Amino acid sequence: MRDIAFIFFFAAVVCVTSGMVWGIQMAVSEDHLLAPAHAHLNLVGWTTLALFGLYYRLTPTAARGILPRVHAGLAILGVALMVPGIAMVMAGGSPAPASAGAILTLASMLLFLVTVARHGFGAEA
């Protein structure tokens, strides 16, 4: 089984690759209606997930136990709900998926705050 840093980083790379393809599609079609969803995919999906992965690689004590897996579940599910949810709102649909994704994303960041407070940053000397 892959470690938590890999899970976060793999999800981040999936997000940025999808974001690039989506950005190219918007540029070619000259239809930028869904740019806010695209931006969230790149910022929350790529940047945040990649930073989480790097943190867990650099702070191995924080990567142990169940909490990092819960963190990954909240963060990845948050992006998976928020991005299409924003697209749905932009198209006139319900904000419920975007709101649920935002709440999960916030929960993942609060869990990360607790993790950083508990473990600091970097490997122990």
Distances (CA, A) of 38 to 48, 77, 113: 14, 16, 26
Report pLDDT digits (tens) over 76-124.
Answer: 999 999 999 999 999 999 999 999 999 999 999 999 999 999 999 988 7
What mean pLDDT is predicted for residues 4-16?
97
**Whole-number Å distance between alpha carbons of 106 and 91:** 24
pTM, to two decimals: 0.92
Query: Is 125's pLDDT higher than 80?
Result: no
Residue in this structure with the two tokens 């997930």, named with its chain if needed: 49
**Whole-number Å distance between alpha carbons of 103 and 93:** 18
DSSP-assigned letter for residue 41: I
